Amino acid sequence: MKRTALVLSLLVCAAALIGGVPSAQAASGSVEKATLKLAHVYPPGHVWDVGAKMAADLVKKNTGGNIQIDVFPASQLGTEEQITEGVIFGSTDIAVSGAGQIGNLFKPIYILEMPYLFKDMDHVMRFAKSPIARQMFGDLEKEFNIKIVGTSSFGVRHLASVKKPVRTPEDLAGFKLRVPQQQVTMAYGKAMGANPTPIAYAEAYLALQQGLVDGLENPLSAIKSMKFHEVTKHINLTGHVINLTFFIMNGPKFNTLTKKNQDAILEAFDKASEHIITLLKEDDKNLVGFFEKEAKVSVNQVDVEAFKKKTASMPVQFRSWWIRYGEDLFQRIQAM
């Protein structure tokens, strides 16, 4: 926690110091050829890895090979926190970063991690293309020189447990829930009734296996790709958060590229973002059968209304983070 606070302070200072650098919204540059590094924390074959490689292939094709994007999966270049920092400082050109991670820097983004904000992944994409999203993402660019080049979803988060099914918030009493080191995730874990336990994503499997935690919360696609079903016995369909996740790029680096190359990047990552949604929807349809029949994991319905009631105060509790966009922002997004 101390390291995170220090890093956040340094990043805020750095953003202020580089404020004179043209933002990602400035005019295009003259660079016609470049090799870019794209980092993410997910294993090869995960939907976000598939999307990253799809975008890289499209960029190469549509720039005649002038822009090459090398993809580094599975935390090769660091944790999600580290690669997000890398994009700000320019040591990483492009990264996959979730709203919870970016919210550590730019508080208004945290609203996108609020429980039961979105109805489904189509709702997520409607928000991503809305005027308020463009305004919010533009402010992020101005303040941190982070250019959002693609917006998609990480999927619908459910709760996987080792020892017992979870059907009501009362079942989470004394339950050690693995969460990322993100303020909102820890807050909604606690609000749901669990004891949130921050553990890095790459270490979550071992933590489950060794009994350091009683469960975690992830979309079905992530549970399968990370093999969490091997060390849990129950998947409980809480559907408590539908995450936004982003392809982010260093703004000044984006600015150095020609307009043609910028357009090729934006188009490629937009198509990849839509493809990720398609893959996630397919997984949500198909994986329940896989978990029940092949993995021998029970898939349980839960009292969703009880979980909604438990977390209903969070948009009020944290609204100061996004008040610059209006106190009713949560309700406006819900109504999209």
CATH code, domain carrying 67: 3.40.190.170
Range of the domain at 81: 30-154+243-284
- Is residue 14, in this structure, part of any structural domain at all? no
pLDDT reported for residue 27: 65
- Where among 269, 284, 299 does a domain terminate? 284
* Total structural domains within the chain: 2
**How many angstroms separate the CA atoms of 90 and 222, rounded?**
28
Residues 115, 215 within the same domain: no
Residues 203, 273 within the same domain: no
Tens digits of residue pLDDT in 142-195: 999 999 999 999 999 999 999 999 999 999 999 999 998 888 999 999 999 999
- Is residue 167, in this structure, part of any structural domain at all? yes
Tens digits of residue pLDDT in 218-244: 999 999 999 999 999 999 999 999 999
Tens digits of residue pLDDT in 312-336: 999 999 999 999 999 999 999 999 9
- Is residue 21, in this structure, part of any structural domain at all? no
Q: What is the pTM of this model?
A: 0.88
